[in-house]
Amino acid sequence: MDLTTCLKSLLLLIRQYRDSRTAHCAAQLQRQVEELSGLKCDQLLSSGQVLPSECVSGLVELVGNPNTSPTLTSAIISLLAHLACDEESREILHSSYNLTSTLASVIHCHSATPREPLVLQCLQVLQKLTYNTRIFESTNYIHELVAFLMTNIRSHNEDVLVSCLGLMANLCRDNHSVQSHVKSLDNLKPFYRTLINFLAHNSLTVVVFTLSILSSLTLNEKVGEKLFDAKNIHQTFQLVFNIIVNGDGTLTRKYSVDLLVDLLKNHKIADFLTRYQHFSACVSQVLGLLQSKDPESAAKVLELLLAMCSVSGLRSLLCKVVFKPVGAKLRAAARRPVGGLDPGCKAEPGPALVQWLSLPVEGAESCSLQALRLLNELLEEALGTEAVPNCVFSFVELLVPVLVGLLKGLEPANGDAHLRRHCHRITHVTSLLLLLCTDDSTRSFVSCQVSVQLCLSQVESLLSCCHGHNPLMPLPSSSDNDLSQVCAEALLKTLELMSKLRQQVKDMETSFYRMLQDQRIVTPLSLALTSHRRECVQTGLSLLFEASPLPDFPSLVLGESIAANNAYRQREADLSVKRVAVQEVQAPRTNSSVLESSNGSLRSVHSLVEKIQIGLELQEQVKDSHVSEIIDIYEQKLSAFASKEGRLQDLLEAKALALSQADRLIAQFRVQRAQAEAEARKLGGLLKDAERRREDLQGELSNQVLEVERSKADMEELLQHNARLQQDSEEHQALKGAYNTLLNRFNESERLLKELQTSHISLTKQNDTLRKNHEALQLQHERMVSVMEERGEEIRSLQSDLQQKNNNITALHGELRAEEEKLKKLDQERSALEETVDVLRKELNKTEQARKDASIKASSLELQRSQLEMKLKQKEDELSKHSAMIAMIHSLSSGKMKSDVNLSL
C-alpha cells in the first residue's frame, strides 16, 4: 500500500473511531497506525499537503482525549515520534499541532502512576521534541509537567529519572520564563540539594543532565557562584571534557557540548577556561573525535569549537592546537582522494578538518559548512598576527588544493536540494579563499591553484542555474533561503574572488571584466544591492564600483531591475497585511487567475520572439544599420516582460504558500475548536442541569401556591367555628414558612446562575489581560536584547583595557627580573654570614662544654666544703664542751691550778 492510500485509510478510520469508540474500531485504527509507522515518511509534515495535516490533527486529538485506550495512544505516539525525523518536522509538531501540550496532558493524567510505559514513552518523545526548542511558560500543562518532573527527580525514581532530567534540562535551557517559574516554587531548595547529590551519580548521562539544569537555574545566583567558582570550575572542565571524549553515547556527548557552550556564554567562566592549564590537551582529545565517521558527533564537536572561537583568548589557543607542525601524514591526507577518514592520523587535527569539509554535500552538509566556518575563524586569527607561523603556511599550502577541488562538481541535474547545498558550500569556500587573499604570502598559494577556466566554468554554471539556461529570464526576488538567492550569492562571491586574483592570474582580468558586462549579471547584482544583509550589499557595491566604468555595462537595466525588486517587495509587504483577511474559497480562484496571466505573458513573449526572428530573416539581405538598436530595444522589452512573468510566478507561489499555511491553520483551528466545543458542551450540560432544577422548583412553588389558596378557602369556611380557628391559623403559618423556604431556594439558584455568568465574563477579561501581558513581555524582551548589545560594546571596551593591562604586566615582569638579580646577591651574602655563624656556634659549644666541666668541679668542691664545715662544727661543739668543763674545774680549783690548766691548754 502506498503512502497516500494509507493516509486516506487512516483518516477514514480516525473518523469512524471518533463517531463510535468500539473495540473493533480501535483495533483497526491501531493496525493502520502501526502499518503507517513501517513506511518511510521523510518530509511528510513539511510538504504542506492537506491530507497528512488532517491525519496528524486527528491523531493528536485522539492522544489528548483521556477516553482513548492506552495501547492505541502508545501506538499513535510511536507514529508521531517516527514522523519527527528531522528538526523541521519537530518544529511543525510543536508549533502547528501543539503536540507538546498534548503529551504533557497525557503525563498529567497518569501522574499517579509514573512507572507506566506510556508515561516513559511520552517523556522520551517530549525530550526529543523540546531539544533546542523554547517552550513558553504559559503553554498548557507546562506547570503540571514541571511539577511532575521535580517530584520524580526528588523521589529518585530510577525508571524515569534519566528522561525526567533530560526533559527538565531542555525546558530550563535558555528559557527565562520556565526558569522564573521553577525558582518561584516552594520546594526549590530541596530540589537543589537533590541535584547536587546527583553530581556523584555513577551514570555520566545523569551527571551531564544535572549540570545542565544547575547551570540554567543557578549560574548567576549565589548557588551557582559556589558551584562554578574558581576552586571547582577546573574540576568541572575536566569532567565535561572527559564526558565529551569518553561519554556513554551520542546523546550524552550532545548535552555535554551544549553545557560547555552555555558555560562559555558567561564571561567569568570563559576567562577561567582561558587559564585552564590542560586546555590544549583536552582540545586535542576532542579533536580526535573528528576521526570517527559519526556526522552527529562531528557536528557537535565543530559546534563546540566554533563557540570557543567566539572567545578571543581561546581562539589563539585553538590556532596553536589545530595549526601545529605536521609531517608527511598531513600531506598524504591532503593528496588522498575525497572519501573515508583515515584512522592512522589521530594525533593531527588538521587532516580531520580537511576530510570533513571534503565529504559530499549529501552526507554531512552541516559538518562540511561548520568545518569551513571554523577554518575561516582560525585562519582569520592566525593571519591577523604580526608574525605568521610557518606551520600555518604549510597548512594553507595543503588546504588550498582541497578548497579548489570543492569548487568543482556542480551538477544542476541532481535536483534543487543538491544545488542549494552545493551553492552554500561554494559561498563558504570562496569566502575562505578571499580571506587567504588578504595576505600576500597566502595569496600566492591561491593564485597558483585557481585558474581562469575554473572560475569561468563556475560562473557559467551558476548563471545557467540562476536563469534556467535562459539568458533573459531574471531571478525571482525572494527570501535568503530561496534557491535563486543562494545561487546569486555564490555567483557574486566567485566574481569577487576573480577580482582579487585578476593581477596574479593570467587572463583573469579580461575574463572578469567580460563577465561584468554580461546581461545576465544584472539580476543577481540587483538582488545583492536590495538585500537586507550587510555582506551581500557590500559585495554588490564593490562589484558595481568595478563594473560601472565599463562601456557595455547595462546600468539602465540594472536600475530598472532594482526598481522592480523594490516595487515587488513593497507589493509583497502590502499583500502580507491583506493576506490575513483572504477567505479559504478565494485562494484557488486567485491562483488560477495568476496562472492564466502568467501563461498569457509567456505566450506574448514567445510570439514577440517569433516576430523578431521573422523580421531578422527578412532583413538579412538588407544590411540595416539600426538593427542592433532595435534588437537592444526589444531585448529590454523582453527583459521587462520576463521580469513581469517572474513577479507573477512569485505571486502564484506566494498564494500557494498562503493556501498551505491557511490549511495548516485550519487544521490547528479544528483541534482548538474541538477542545472548545468539548468545554462548551460541558458548560451547556451544567446550564441544562441548573435550568432543570429551576423548573422543578418552579413546579413545587406552583403546587405550594395552590395549597395556600385551598387553605385560604378552608379558613373562610372555618371562621364560623371558633374552636378550629387556632388550628387553621397554625397550618397557614406552616405553609407560609414552606413557601418562603422554596422562594429562598429559587433566589439562591438565580444568584448562582448570575455568579457563573460573572465568572465567565471575568475569565474572558483575564484572557485578554494575559494576552496584553504577553505583548508587553515581548516588548520588554526586545528592550533587553538592545541592552545586551550595549553591554557587549562595554565588554569589548573592557577587553581593550585588559590588553593594556597585560602590556603593563609585561613591563612589571622586567622589573621583577631585576629585583630577582638583587635577591640572588643578597642570598650569597646571607650564605657567607651563615658560615661565620656556624664557626661561632662551634666555639660556643666548646665554651659551653668547658663551663659544664667547671660547674661539675665547683659542685664537687662545694660538697667537700659543706662536709668540712660539718666536721668543723662538730669540733667546735666538742671544744665548747671542753671549755665548759675547764671553766667548771677552774671555779673549783685554785688559781695555781688555773694557770697550770691554762698552760697545759
Q: What is the pLDDT of residues 785-840, one digit of tens each?
A: 899 889 888 898 898 888 888 888 988 888 898 888 888 888 888 888 888 898 99
> Is the separation of the CB atoms in 13 and 24 below 8 Å?
no
pLDDT beyond 80 at 43:
no
Read off the pLDDT band of 385 (50, 70, 90): confident
pLDDT at 516: 87
Q: What is the mean pLDDT of the chain?
A: 80
Rounded to whole angstroms, the Cα distance separating 34 from 59 reads 13
| Residue 402 near residue 343, CB atoms below 8 Å | no
Cα-based distances in Å from 366 to 295, 338, 439: 9, 17, 28
CA angle 79, 252, 324 (to 5 degrees): 130
pLDDT at residue 10, rounded to an integer = 85
Q: What is the mean pLDDT of residues 446-466?
A: 86
Flag whether pLDDT at 731 surpasses 90: no
Which one has a higher pLDDT value, 324 or 566?
566
Of residues 212 and 611, more confidently modeled: 212
Mean pLDDT of 262-273: 90
Look up residue 520 and give its DSSP letter: G
User: Using alpha carbons only, what angle is made at residue 789 by residues 785 and 792, rounded to the nearest 5 degrees?
Assistant: 135
Q: How far apart are CA 748 and CA 771, in angstroms?
A: 35
In the DSSP assignment, the letter for residue 474 is P
pLDDT at 599 over 90: no
φ/ψ bin of 877: left (φ > 0), alpha (ψ from -120 to 50), beta (otherwise): alpha
Q: What is the mean pLDDT of residues 371-384?
A: 89
CA 772 to chain CA centroid, nearest Å: 28
List Cα–Cα distances, 233 to 226, 260, 720, in angstroms. Answer: 10, 11, 106
Q: Could you tell me the end-to-end alpha-carbon distance of the chain, in angstroms, rounded to an integer? A: 161
Per-residue pLDDT at 607 exceeds 90: no
The CA distance from 304 to 308, in Å, is 6
- pLDDT > 90? residue 610: no
Model-level pTM greater than 0.75? no
Residue 461 cell numbers, joined:
554554471
Give the pLDDT confidence score for residue 328 in this predicted structure: 38
More confidently predicted of 222 and 211: 211
pLDDT given at position 576: 59
Q: 618 or 707: whose pLDDT is higher?
A: 707
In the prediction, which pLDDT does 103 show?
Answer: 92
Above 50 in pLDDT, residue 729?
yes
Query: Which pLDDT band holds residue 215 (cuts at 50, 70, 90)?
Result: very high
Give the three-class secondary structure for 475: coil
pLDDT at 342 over 60: no
What pLDDT band is residue 600 in, cutting at 50, 70 and 90?
very low
As a whole number of angstroms, the distance between CA 901 and CA 167 comes to 132
Phi, psi torsion values for 402, nearest 5 degrees: -70, -40
Residue 519 has pLDDT above 80, yes or no: yes
Q: Pick the more confident residue, 569 or 212.
A: 212
Band (622; pLDDT cuts 50, 70, 90): very low
- CA-based nearest residue to 335, from 406, 291, 398: 398
> Per-residue pLDDT tens for 231-264?
888 888 998 999 888 876 778 889 999 999 999 9
- What is the average pLDDT across 113-118? 87
Q: How confident is the model at residue 593 (pLDDT cuts 50, 70, 90)?
A: very low
Alpha-carbon distance 586 to 516, whole Å? 44
Give the lowest-confidence range in 112-116, 331-335, 424-428, 515-519.
331-335
pLDDT value at residue 430: 92
Higher local confidence (pLDDT), 664 or 772: 772
CB 519 within 8 A of CB 474: no
Given its phi and psi angles, is residue 98 left (phi above 0), alpha (psi -120 to 50 degrees) or beta? left
CA distance 255 to 13: 40
> Is 371:357 a contact under the CB 8 Å cutoff?
yes
User: Secondary structure of 365-419 in the HEC alphabet?
Assistant: HHHHHHHHHHHHHHHHHHHCCCCCCHHHHHHHHHHHHHHHHHCCCCCHHHCHHHH
Q: Which residue has the higher pLDDT, 475 or 853?
A: 853
pLDDT in tens, 756-774: 888 889 898 988 888 899 8
Tracing cell 534588437 back to the chain, one arrives at: 631
Determine the Cα–Cα distance for residues 542 and 495; give it in Å rounded to an integer: 10
Chain mean position to CA 529:
32
Work out the pLDDT band at 903, boundaries 50, 70, 90: very low
Measured CA to CA, the distance from residue 198 to residue 142 in angstroms comes to 24
Confidence (pLDDT) at 92: 86
State the Cα–Cα distance between residues 603 and 651, nearest whole angstrom.
Answer: 18
User: Of 277-281, 295-299, 304-308, which range is least confident?
Assistant: 295-299
Average pLDDT on 872-899 reads 79
Q: What distances in angstroms separate CA 593 from CA 232, 607, 618, one per listed residue?
A: 69, 21, 37
Tens digit of pLDDT for each residue in 67-95? 888 899 999 989 888 888 778 888 888 88
The pLDDT of residue 122: 93
Of 389-398, 547-556, 640-649, 751-760, the least confident: 640-649
Task: For the chain, give the percent of residues with pLDDT over 70.
Answer: 85
Q: Are 178 and 135 in contact (CB under 8 A)?
A: yes
d(CA 696, CA 547) in angstroms, rounded, equals: 92
CA distance 41 to 126: 20
pLDDT at 707 over 80: yes
**513-539 CB burial, b ≥16 within 10 A, e <16:** bebbebbbbbbbbbbbbbbeeeebeeb
Tell me the C-alpha distance between 673 and 670, whole Å.
5
